[in-house]
């Protein structure tokens, strides 16, 4: 981590007192750009393909039923558990998707297509925390400000990788990540309850 700037957040868990340190996105782990896999598409393929249309506005995966098999072109694009995949293009001019990140929950199940960037976090970073951090609206603004284009907006990884983030120790990352995961799960449960009750009591 960079030692240039250290900060302390206003709100945090009381057992943590260390300062948060600043680092660049490109320093967080090994980063690899996607390539065009269209020539490899196979409806019977083993791997699900993560493309621009795979990102929802609430940062969940959308299965487009696009598949590929293990080939020379796809073998280096197979994702592992806890990898992050960031979208660098947005099909619309609204910017609602660009810069969003998906967290991979299972190894050997997905590959990443062109216009996405794989981030393999170093061991000093928690993927769940990074997933929450990168998808936070005020944090995504850093990427959106770097975007270009009109009908379809995009960002260049060479620019995005220089964006700086303030990050705590690994233990504090884990606690924050787990907290927001529990919060998201609770929201999901309430949404499902609302759907069920709406159906029952129509």
Angle at CA 57, nearest 5°, toward 21 and 55? 90
Q: Phi and psi of 82, rounded to 5°?
A: 80, 0
The architecture that CATH gives domain 18-200 is Alpha-Beta Complex (3.90)
**Packing angle, helices 170-200 and 127-135, rounded to 10:** 70
Per-residue pLDDT of the chain (202 residues; tens, 9 = 90+): 444 455 766 667 777 778 889 999 999 999 999 999 999 999 999 999 999 989 988 888 999 999 999 999 999 999 999 999 999 998 766 678 899 999 999 999 999 999 999 999 999 999 999 999 999 888 889 998 988 887 788 999 999 999 999 999 999 999 988 888 887 766 655 455 444 434 433 4
**47 within 8 A of 70, measured Cβ to Cβ:** yes
Beta-strand relationship, 153-154 and 84-87: unpaired
- pLDDT, position 50: 96
Q: Hey, how many other C-beta atoms are within 10 angstroms of the C-beta on 172?
A: 20
Distance, CA of 51 to CA of 36 (rounded, Å): 10
**Tokens encoding 107:** 């190894």
pTM, full prediction:
0.85
- pLDDT, position 196: 43
**122 within 8 A of 28, measured Cβ to Cβ:** yes
Q: If DSSP states are collapsed to H, E and C, what string results for the chain?
A: CCCCCEECCCCCCCCCCCCEEEEEHHHCEEEEECCCCHHHECCCCCEEEECHHHECCCCCECCCCCEECCCCCCHHHECCCCCEEEECEECCCCCCCCCCEEECCCCCCEEECCCEEEEEECCCCCHHHHHHHHHCHHHHHHHHCCCECCCCEECCHHHHCCCEEEECCHHHHHHHHHHHHHHHHHHHHHHHHHHHHHHHCC
């Amino acid at each position: 981590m960079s030692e240039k700037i250290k900060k302390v957040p206003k709100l945090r868990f009381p057992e943590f007192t260390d300062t948060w340190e600043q680092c660049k996105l490109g320093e967080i782990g090994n980063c690899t750009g996607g390539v065009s896999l269209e020539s490899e598409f196979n409806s019977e393929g083993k791997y699900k393909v993560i493309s621009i249309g795979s990102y929802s506005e609430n940062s969940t995966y959308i299965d487009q039923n696009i598949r590929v098999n293990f080939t020379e072109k796809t073998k280096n694009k197979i994702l592992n558990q806890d990898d992050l995949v960031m979208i660098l293009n947005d099909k619309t001019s609204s910017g609602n998707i660009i810069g969003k990140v998906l967290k991979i929950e299972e190894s050997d199940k997905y590959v990443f297509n062109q216009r996405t960037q794989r981030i393999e976090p170093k061991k000093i970073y928690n993927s769940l925390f990074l997933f929450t951090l990168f998808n936070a609206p005020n944090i995504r603004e850093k990427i959106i400000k770097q975007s270009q284009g009109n009908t379809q907006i995009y960002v260049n990884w060479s620019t995005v990788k220089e964006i700086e983030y303030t990050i705590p120790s690994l233990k504090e990352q884990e606690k924050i990540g787990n907290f927001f995961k529990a919060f998201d799960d609770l929201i999901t449960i309430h949404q499902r309850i609302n759907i069920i009750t709406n159906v029952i009591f129509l």
